[in-house]
Structure 1
Amino acid sequence: MQEEHAGALLIVGGSEERHGDMQVLSKFVELCGGPDSAIVVLTAATSVPDKIWAIYDAAFAELGVSNRAAIHIGNRREADDADAVAQILRADGIFISGGEQQRLLASIGGSKVHETMHRAFRERGACIGGTSAGASAISRHMMAYGTKDMLPNKNSAQLDVGLGFLQHVVIDQHFSERHRLARLLSAVAQDPDVIGLGIDEDTAVVIRDRGWLEVVGTGAVTILDGRRMTSNFDEANPHQQLELIDVRLHLLPAGSHYNIGRTADAPAALRNVLALVTEI
């Protein structure tokens, strides 16, 4: 039996720089193995795949990546295509573009492409990246839809099943820029055992091993821990504002870097939550 050696995850809050100072995409290329690596861009989340591919084609070319390609998937038949599966299995990195996470899961969820992404990640150590909708879909718990409410209510967020590369988090993107704290709080209230991860634009969370987390880019990552929370979620009426007591919030700016197996001075509360966030 082949020994597993899982790769890295790079989860982007959207609107990452794609020209010039590309801190986030540069980190993705580094995690894939450098400019000589093979990178594919999966555009299944968007309705304009050629336009999106042109943007990333130019960005990765600027970063020196010559072995780059797009995989355009628009339906279930294409998600089981043998050539697409072979491309993913050979890739050192798979980058999932933005768009609509529900479109992405409707196209590839449970398909051969989806299965092969997990094989590439776990057996070959490929890096899985995702931005915006591609970021929200990374986890098993996916933010499928959310409102623009300034305060959380029972219907501020709707969850669905994602791609399953992480187990205990729900991810929201464009976080500070689009004022999404309320809907992430609502998501955590629905399932307090799930950790909320809000990622700002041009910012990424990098996860390599359990307990290993780094924040790169120009913004910050907000972590919501509601495991000790009490709330009125179950009793609340639809659209009723929620009472949430004892929710823990951690804010990690770009440059934060923790390996809880080695960082003895990490606060106990953070060590505990990072163990869950980084379980792959």
Structure 2
Amino acid sequence: MKITGKLIIIGGAVDKGSFTETDLDKNSASNLNFFETGILKRIISESKHKENSRIEVVTTASNIPKEIGPEYVKAFSYLDAKNIDVLYIEKREEAADPAVLTRLKAADIVIFTGGDQLRLTSILGGTPFHDILLDKYHNEEFVYAGTSAGAAAASNSMIYQGSSSEALLKGEVKITSGLGLIDGVTIDTHFVRRGRIGRLFQTVVSNPRVLGIGLGEDTGLLITNNNEMEAIGSGLVILVDGRDIKDTNLTQVELGQPISINNLVVHVMSMNDTYNIGTHKMQIHTS
């Protein structure tokens, strides 16, 4: 099935990349340069009406939504976006509010902020808001953008808990259902700084058909037709492919014991590199 919408998933930020996660005054040069040339600018340029696109910021994952929402409005406004607002959805019943659904139907871009991805899926999952979101993504020139929790929740299979340091002990990584915009992948964020590669290893070895995607800070993926991925932003994307795993002790060891994996394949993408999920082929841009 052809997917008309676009998916932009973002790993989070360290020193730049989101007005919500940095001190704008102290790091203004980094922030402004990033927004001028980086991921938020790309979100606007990929949308149907560019700077005139209707943008809704969804802060459901955050525990400080009233602080985060206005910062996104400020960031998009700096990039000449003309039509931005914040949807504060904090309870399930609000995800069925006719006024909220009307705004979602009119949106060209919806960006989901960081926070707790389990909060995002438990509040929005299975609601009229979720149904409309999926329909727009499948059938309209629509951009779903998510940073951190908003990125992790985009896939059908979602990591919601797991210690980085103990991620290769059996049972340490907890997985549940996400919002289901894209199947066949699992997405992890803040990947490089928080050393989360072990979380993807355990996720992939438990179902080698699933492609593990690790998004570094200030880094994202533009996914079109749920198939073609392009790395955007300044950092790294790590892909973990388990289709050629030769052996693992996953089913033999007890909970809490280390996992062994033989022949796990890892790819590293940087800006403008592409990867086709269907063919499993990566193209390095400079070559």
TM-score, with structure 2 as normaliser? 0.87
Aligned to 1:207: 223
1:1-280 equivalences under 5 Å are: 6-15=4-13, 16-18=17-19, 19-20=31-32, 21-22=34-35, 23-33=38-48, 34-149=50-165, 152-229=168-245, 230-258=247-275, 272-273=279-280
Q: Is the 8 A contact 1:4 1:124 kept in 2?
A: no
- For residues 199-228 of structure 1, give each alpha carbon's deviation from its aligned partner in whole angstroms, at most 9, with x where no partner exists: 001101001125422111111110001122
Shift of 1:274: 5.7
Q: Give 5+ residue unaligned stretches, structure 2.
A: 20-30, 283-287
Query: Match for 1:6: what amino acid?
Result: T
Shift of 1:40: 0.3
State how far apart, in whole Å, the 1-side matches of 2:105 and 2:138 are: 11
- For residues 158-202 of structure 1, give each alpha carbon's deviation from its aligned partner in whole angstroms, at most 9, with x where no partner exists: 110000011000100000110001111111122121110000011
Q: Is the 8 A contact 2:173 2:199 kept in 1?
A: yes
Q: Partner of 1:119: helix, strand, or coil?
A: helix
Query: Match for 2:12: what amino acid?
Result: G
State how far apart, in whole Å, the 1-side matches of 2:133 and 2:93 are: 17
Query: Match for 1:32: what amino acid?
Result: S
After superposition, the CA RMSD in angstroms is 1.8
State how far apart, in whole Å, the 2-side matches of 1:170 and 1:64 are: 33
Q: Is the 8 A contact 2:167 2:173 kept in 1?
A: no
Q: Is the 8 A contact 1:17 1:24 kept in 2?
A: no
State how many pairs are aligned. 263
- For residues 48-78 of structure 1, give each alpha carbon's deviation from its aligned partner in whole angstroms, at most 9, with x where no partner exists: 1111101101001101112111111111100
Q: Is the 8 A contact 1:211 1:274 kept in 2?
A: no
Shift of the 44–243 alpha-carbon distance from structure 1 to 2, 3 Å rule, reads same
- For residues 80-108 of structure 1, give each alpha carbon's deviation from its aligned partner in whole angstroms, at most 9, with x where no partner exists: 11111111111100101100000101110
State how far apart, in whole Å, the 2-side matches of 1:190 and 1:4 are: 29
Q: Partner of 2:279: helix, strand, or coil?
A: helix
State how far apart, in whole Å, the 2-side matches of 1:132 and 1:4 are: 26
Q: Is the 8 A contact 1:206 1:214 kept in 2?
A: yes
State how far apart, in whole Å, the 2-side matches of 1:181 and 1:235 are: 22
* Deviating more after overlay: 128-137 vs 115-124: 115-124
Q: Is the 8 A contact 1:42 1:96 kept in 2?
A: yes
Query: Match for 1:188: what amino acid?
Result: V
Q: Partner of 1:167: helix, strand, or coil?
A: coil
Runs of 4+ in 1 over 4 A off after TM superposition: none
Shift of 1:273: 2.5
Q: Is the 8 A contact 2:70 2:86 kept in 1?
A: no
Query: Match for 1:238: what amino acid?
Result: L
Q: Is the 8 A contact 2:237 2:270 kept in 1?
A: yes
TM-score, with structure 1 as normaliser? 0.89
State how far apart, in whole Å, the 1-side matches of 2:98 and 2:167 are: 47
Query: Match for 1:28: what amino acid?
Result: I
Q: Is the 8 A contact 1:150 1:179 kept in 2?
A: no
Q: Give 5+ residue unaligned stretches, structure 1.
A: 261-269, 276-280
